[in-house]
Structure 1
Amino acid sequence: MPVHAKTQKDFWALSDGKLEYCNDFDLRKPLETHFLSGQHIDCVSILYNSDLVALRDPCATFFTQFSRNDGSIASAVRIAIQSFCTPQCKYSNVEWDMLSFIRSLRSMIRSSNAVAVVTFPPSLLLPSVSKRWQHMADTLLSVRAIPDEDKEFANLLTGYQDMVGLLNVHKVARVNTQGPVILDATTFSIKLQKRRFLVLECLNQAPIDGASGNSYGTSASCSSSSKTRTHLDF
């Protein structure tokens, strides 16, 4: 589980004298070593700890360095937990302990300049447990692979041959707001262009009965910036 903090200058790059968010990722290149060996980076294994306290305590200690009380946002904590409930984890059968950890993690994020991404395979959980986890999330996404050579999908979707999966947006963060967030689209296709760039596009439905045009005309790319502002901010 990587836990790390980056200063604000690491997030931004100068372009024509202006600060721009870096969103250029080349999937063919491995992650540079300095991203994993920096001063404020820590990696914790979740495979061999039977007690989640061993996972919660390092997070709490790390969060104390980046409290919101000082009013500064010069640095941000990013936590990534991959496959939280896999059978390889010794605590994978302690469902309430895992829920308690997620609740504790969410509480720590509220008082820090931090964001956490937790991934888990819902098929390994009871439906009731999976729903509890989903309710704890501020933003809820799901990813589904597209079957190869699926003729039904190929007839329904444009650009099917370039797709590797679908991204569904089930819920978006509604912190400090009473109004609902209405998205232009909640389903996006995941495409890999030239085996290099990962691209998210609003799902386009193939024309029916000779009709022309696309269901959506907006796309968001992880490889190049877009002049049109969308709800997906990379």
Structure 2
Amino acid sequence: LSPGRVAAPPPMAAAATGTGGQTLGRSSFSRAASSKTASSSSSPTASGVKLGPNGAAFVSSGIPDLDRILDGGFLLGSVVMVMEDSDAPHHLLLLRAFMAQGVVHKQPLLFAAPMKEPRSFLGALPAPVASSKEDARQRAMGGGAAGDGRASDEGLRIAWQYRKYFGDERNSNAEHRDNKQEFSHDFDLRKPLERHLLNAQHIECLSTQDVDTLHDLQNRSSAFLSKHQRKEGGNLSAGRIAIQSLCAPQCGYFGKDWDMVSFLRSLKAMVRSSNAVAIITFPYTVLSDSFCKRWQHLADTLLSIKAIPDEDKDLAKLLTGYQDMVGFLHVHKVAQTNSQVPTQVNMT
């Protein structure tokens, strides 16, 4: 371009002619509707449910980094198993985050644990981080977007006709950020969840301590999942089942290995046909090697927790921020649906 000369607008594309000689009237500057928006409008989802590829739907684990590693979160209709570490109760962090995320989203929750008063465990659920930080972050991001807009205005003095398209893109990006923040929260482990959220009617608790059989747990799970059967064209809501230490010695059915395997198979079949996710923690060291392998094969997503030994000098040299770490999370298996391609775990 010669100095002081403004470039002429690029020529508009010729209008296409459709059937019957009707002019469609679209130009090269027409912006096609977003495919994500179209898909989300056709399949309404409740709070805390995110649609994914291949017709999959996810709920958050309560830990944003774990959701990113699993490429979306816990798959709706899957059974997640967590192998407990006998040296430290770090598996409770995963369980608390999973349950707290469901309570915040007001999703129905069924909790079972080998304790006399399992409802008392709800008092240990963490509260989400204060929203003031999110508001400050949004203001900072908004100010940055405004600054970028002024810089782009100065750089687009020639192609002025393109300015109006940046506003739509910023709005769509802002909506995407809001949806992402609603899907998963950061939790403050030092602050308990508000009491009025824990007294909701959609939270059920069941004790597995000193119970001779698994019939009661199976019947309660069946009744809970019957309320969340998949319906075509309905609102995609989700339920959560959390079972702590299923094969713990405190349970009356401890040692009945085949009964526990039968329960897992039945629960997996019921969850698969419903809009729910079940997470089960179990101390694998109390199981025989053969039954431990059976449990692992029955899991759709399999995780394990390993505590970091104190004052390990070799690890301290290899890992940055070693003093702030409490354990390792191992991802053994990731659930997948409607696909023959293995799920790629995002570890970057």
The counterpart of 2:210, out of the listed 48, 51, 56, is 48
Identify if the C-alpha distance between structure 1 residues 184 and 21 changes in structure 2 by more than 3 Å, giving closer, same or farther. Answer: closer
Q: 1:205 corresponds to which residue?
A: none
Q: Aligned to 1:141, what secondary structure does the other structure show? A: strand
Q: 1:182 corresponds to which residue?
A: 344
Does the CA contact (< 8 Å) of 1:7 and 1:76 recur in 2? no
Q: 2:244 corresponds to which residue?
A: 82
How far 1:160 moved relative to its partner? 1.2
Normalised to the residue count of structure 2, the TM-score between the two structures is 0.48
Task: Return the alpha-carbon distance in structure 2 between the equivalents of residues 178 and 131 of structure 1.
Answer: 23
Counterpart of 1:153, as a letter, is L
Does the CA contact (< 8 Å) of 1:76 and 1:114 recur in 2? yes
Q: 2:315 corresponds to which residue?
A: 153
Number of equivalences: 185
Q: 2:325 corresponds to which residue?
A: 163
Which of the two has higher C-alpha Rg? 2
1:27-49 CA-partner distances (Å, limit 9, x unpaired): 11113223332121110111122
Indicate whether 1:100 and 2:262 are aligned: yes
Task: Return the alpha-carbon distance in structure 1 between the equivalents of residues 259 and 271 of structure 2.
Answer: 18
Does the CA contact (< 8 Å) of 2:101 and 2:184 recur in 1? no
Normalised to the residue count of structure 1, the TM-score between the two structures is 0.71
Counterpart of 1:75, as a letter, is S
The counterpart of 1:29, out of the listed 159, 168, 191, is 191
Task: Return the alpha-carbon distance in structure 2 between the equivalents of residues 82 and 104 of structure 1.
Answer: 18
Counterpart of 1:128, as a letter, is S
Does the CA contact (< 8 Å) of 1:4 and 1:40 recur in 2? no
Q: 2:275 corresponds to which residue?
A: 113
Q: 2:221 corresponds to which residue?
A: 59
More relative contact order, 1 or 2 (CA 8 Å, 6+ apart): 2
Counterpart of 1:67, as a letter, is Q
Counterpart of 1:131, as a letter, is K
How far 1:155 moved relative to its partner? 2.2
- Larger CA deviation: 20-29 vs 91-100: 20-29
1:145-183 CA-partner distances (Å, limit 9, x unpaired): 001101122122222111100001011012221011122
Identify if the C-alpha distance between structure 1 residues 5 and 44 changes in structure 2 by more than 3 Å, giving closer, same or farther. Answer: farther
Higher strand share: 1
Task: Return the alpha-carbon distance in structure 2 between the equivalents of residues 114 and 137 of structure 1.
Answer: 15
- Larger CA deviation: 170-179 vs 62-71: 62-71
How far 1:57 moved relative to its partner? 0.2
Identify if the C-alpha distance between structure 1 residues 5 and 46 changes in structure 2 by more than 3 Å, giving closer, same or farther. Answer: farther
Q: 2:301 corresponds to which residue?
A: 139
Task: Return the alpha-carbon distance in structure 2 between the equivalents of residues 10 and 81 of structure 1.
Answer: 19
Counterpart of 2:207, as a letter, is S
- Larger CA deviation: 95-104 vs 33-42: 33-42
Task: Return the alpha-carbon distance in structure 1 between the equivalents of residues 294 and 322 of structure 2.
Answer: 34
1:92-122 CA-partner distances (Å, limit 9, x unpaired): 1000100111111111111111000000111
Identify if the C-alpha distance between structure 1 residues 158 and 8 changes in structure 2 by more than 3 Å, giving closer, same or farther. Answer: closer
Identify if the C-alpha distance between structure 1 residues 9 and 120 changes in structure 2 by more than 3 Å, giving closer, same or farther. Answer: closer
Does the CA contact (< 8 Å) of 2:101 and 2:185 recur in 1? no
Q: Aligned to 2:277, what secondary structure does the other structure show? A: strand
Counterpart of 1:111, as a letter, is S
Task: Return the alpha-carbon distance in structure 2 between the equivalents of residues 101 and 128 of structure 1.
Answer: 17
Q: Aligned to 2:304, what secondary structure does the other structure show? A: strand
**Any gaps of 5 or more consecutive residues in structure 2?**
1-94, 108-130, 139-173
Counterpart of 1:80, as a letter, is A
How far 1:6 moved relative to its partner? 6.0
Task: Return the alpha-carbon distance in structure 1 between the equivalents of residues 321 and 101 of structure 2.
Answer: 38
Structure 1 consecutive aligned stretches of length 4 or more whose deviation exceeds 3 Å: 1-11, 13-19
Higher helix share: 2
Aligned pairs (5 A) from 1:152-231? 152-185=314-347, 218=348
Counterpart of 1:83, as a letter, is S
Q: Percent identity between the aligned chains?
A: 51
Does the CA contact (< 8 Å) of 2:307 and 2:326 recur in 1? yes
